[in-house]
Amino acid sequence: MRHSHEQQVLTDWVKDHKIPNALCVTLTEKQFVNGIPLDGIRSDQNFRHFLSLLNRKVYKSAFTRFKRKLYIVTVKEVSGTGRHHRHCMLETPKHIKLPSFVELINHCWTSTDFGYEHTHISEPYNEDGWYDYILKSRTKADFLTSIDWNNTHVPTH
């Protein structure tokens, strides 16, 4: 599938700001909680809460005192059946072993209101392939706003 010029520029920019020591993460979301439907705004708020929980666990007081946080690119998608979910490239902190970090991600995600227990977390076997997958336009209503810029944090050059 051919990208528009804007999509290609955005894809190139994201790939140029790769996440160090990255994990490929897919997080599914509950579509209703207490009769309240999930929408884009609630999804963004829920994800922001997840990142706050995770960064607080990883960096303790340095998260609030020094604004230390994990690098992440997060992309919002809605499947063909209307289910909201997230794809991410998430930095693995050097001071936490991978199995413990995966457990921490799952714990923080399911601690949020809309965090659903079905997740997929793996080390990338092909980083460019994962970036191409999460930046595909097929399942995005608006490609240019599918990257959650408020919750994305990438290294600067």
Contacts of 13 (CB under 8 A, 6+ apart): none
Q: Is residue 133 part of a domain?
A: yes
* CB distance 71 to 152 below 8 Å: no
Provide the pLDDT for residue 24. Answer: 94
CATH of the domain at 16: 3.30.70
Q: Is residue 157 part of a domain?
A: no
Domain range for 127: 5-151
This prediction has a pTM of 0.90
Q: Is residue 14 part of a domain?
A: yes
Q: Is residue 102 part of a domain?
A: yes
Question: Most confidently modeled of 26-30, 124-128, 136-140?
Answer: 26-30
Counting the structural domains of the chain, the total is: 1
Greater pLDDT, 71 or 15:
71
Question: Most confidently modeled of 1-10, 14-23, 52-61?
Answer: 52-61
Q: Is residue 156 part of a domain?
A: no
Q: What is the pLDDT of residues 45-60, one digit of tens each?
A: 999 999 999 999 999 9
Q: Is residue 44 part of a domain?
A: yes
